Amino acid sequence: MFKKLLIANRGEIALRIHRACKEMGIKTVAIHSTADADAMHVRLADEAVCVGPASSKDSYLNVHAILSAAIITGAEAIHPGYGFLSENAKFAEMVEEHGITFVGPSSKHIKAMGDKITAKQVVEKAGIPVVPGSAGSVDSVDDAKKIAKEFGLPVLIKATAGGGGRGMQVVREMSELEELYKRARQEAGSYFSNDTVYIEKFLDDPRHIEIQVIADKHGNVCHLGERDCSLQRRNQKVLEESPSPVINQEVRDEIGMIVANAIKDIGYSSVGTVEFLYENGQFFFIEMNTRLQVEHPVTELVYNIDLVQEMIKIAYGDKLSITQDQIKPQGHAIEFRINAEDPETFMPSPGTILLHHAPGGYGVRVDSALYTGYSIPPYYDSMISKVIIFGKSRDICIKRAKSALSEYVIDGVKTSIPLHTRLLEDPTVLTGDYTIKWLEADFLANK
């Protein structure tokens, strides 16, 4: 096994990886910006290297500084976590070129799945159902109009290099297509330095279902069921759970095996998540994330597996420690993303934590790097903590979550805890009868 691993990330995920490594007897190297000098992952790691100033592009996205940190500390592997460089094919390639193991899939698969057009073509060929749409990029307004007429409105214009809802425009009237097409390309170019777009039929009111897969370098592949991520605001997930309230075991096995077989067919190894829109009993592929997901803990709790440790073992060359017939859901889990933001306006709320008291008890897990006196910097994503609740049933989870959230104290900044508390009192959430539109169109619009 690796003796030393560099964690190319920050916050709760850096701490999560550090803890997994400590259990495996692996020494850790933390990287940090000047703004994160007092961060918990920096304090707990065996070694720490400052890789630049506060700005992400000068620190956590500074490839040369990160590689230099790995080389000077003698790190044998680099785990990218999620976000930042986790799906950067060039970074993965450079890591390998320097004789260091990238804890993740090959740069070839990162590149293929990072381009949504290529990803769609690859998975469709492997047998995964996709959303009807353009065969490739749509390079002119005239082509966009032809495709919109072919599939019928509404259609969705999407950036091929996109993510997080950027570079996406829904066209409901032909008269607005030209303007929205140009807007999508402009936004795509601005955010991703790539203004290429494609078009898909727009599914009006689906759920967001994703399948977790794990594959080693020896051809062994397993799926670990689904996560339901339908509670979203501006295409950003707010709450995730497993199993989905609307998926039964028969459907789970069917779509899970379709995905697992496809992953095996393309030769993928590491953890990965295949995301779908689910409407009227049908699954439609939207993208594959070639990394660890923010919401991975719900799968870990339901299936009793440490995905981070498995990911590291796979990178080292070990075989999977489980087989598909050993994988059965053992309960229910819900993850609540806690952001440092105003729960009414959703404006970021950085600042100093005057008091931090995390909830506890049976079935309560908190993934966080917070501590009393910690100053949340204004330069990064606003998510500061995750509360993950496990129980024998969804009903038990919800009751346990209400208690846990009522105990959680994060004093000094505003957080999204009140939003989650309100959600757990809503009849629609209690029944699980919602889609990706519900949170914004109904819950928030009618508050």
Catalytic center residues: 291
CA-only gyration radius of the chain, Å = 21
Closest of 291, 306, 243, 229 to residue 104, by C-alpha: 291
Which tokens hold the place of 416? 């999204």
CA distance 6 to 27: 9
Give the pairing of strands 221-233 and 236-242.
antiparallel
CA separation for the pair 9, 56 (Å, rounded): 10
The tokens for 44 are 């707990």
Closest CA to 338 of 297, 385, 295: 385
The answer to whether residues 6 and 79 touch, using CB atoms and an 8 Å cutoff, is yes
User: The tokens 């028969």 sit on which residue?
Assistant: 250
Query: What is the rounded CA–CA span in Å between residue 245 and residue 325?
Result: 23
d(C-alpha 134, C-alpha 23), whole Å: 47
The DSSP line for 308-328 is HHHHHHHHHTPPPS--GGG--
Secondary structure (3-state) at 11: helix
CA 12 vs CA 133, 159, 163, 271, 382: distances in Å: 38, 29, 21, 19, 12
The full length of the chain comes to 447
Give yes or no for a contact between 169 and 181, defined as CB atoms under 8 angstroms apart. yes
CB 311 within 8 A of CB 232: no
Residue closest to 148 by CA, chosen among 130, 120, 169, 166:
169
- Mention every residue, 6+ apart, whose C-beta is less than 8 A from residue 80: 8, 9, 86, 88, 91, 102, 103, 104, 291
Q: What are the DSSP calls for 247-292, one per residue? A: --HHHHHHHHHHHHHHHHHHT--EEEEEEEEEETTEEEEEEEE-S-
Residue 282 CB coordination number (10 Å): 12
